[in-house]
Amino acid sequence: MSNNQDTLYLLRECSAGIRMAVASIDDVLPYLNDGEMVQVLKESKTEHKDLEKDIDATLHKMNCDGKEPNLMAKGMSKIKTNAEMAFKPTASQAASLITDGCGMGIKSIHKYMNQYPAASHEVMNLANRISSLEAKLEEQMKPFL
């Protein structure tokens, strides 16, 4: 695999993005009583964690460290989730928050894919897998909205 800068930068953004997604799911789960929604989110979290392992393995192969999500973005997301779920702890509210997060994740990963077009095919594939996983979760949330 090529160790060009685009590959490293995109891979690190994949790392930050997948970690942000897992954290967002974790932030919502404690508020939920809807067993079906909890199951969907737990399965999605497992898929996200599996993809995170693939990203981490690729980082390891390239002797590169992962990237934590932006602290401000992560903090604001947690505050928004806690505030909205404390005020209105419904499956619909949780689905709305998760759907918004999926949309932001899809936009972000495609922005980085466009920003780093010379990234290796392997890393572009990881980025596409993030986008697909977010689109799938977004679709799975629609019945709960």
Q: Are 31 and 98 in contact (CB under 8 A)?
A: no
CATH 1.25.40.10 fits 5-144, yes or no: no
Give tens-digit pLDDT for 45-82. Answer: 999 999 999 999 999 998 887 777 666 777 777 778 87
Give tens-digit pLDDT for 13-36. Answer: 999 999 999 999 999 999 999 999
**pTM of structure:** 0.90
Give tens-digit pLDDT for 101-132. Answer: 999 999 999 999 999 999 999 999 999 999 99
Please give the mean pLDDT across all residues of the chain: 91
Domain regions of the chain by residue span: 5-144
The percent of residues in the chain predicted with pLDDT above 70, rounded, is 96
Contacting residues for 19 by C-beta, under 8 A, at least 6 apart: 52, 66, 68, 69
Cα–Cα distance measured from residue 59 to residue 40, given in angstroms and rounded to the nearest whole number = 28
Quickly count: other Cβ atoms within 10 Å of residue 62's Cβ. 18
**SS3 label, residue 80:** helix
pLDDT for position 62:
87
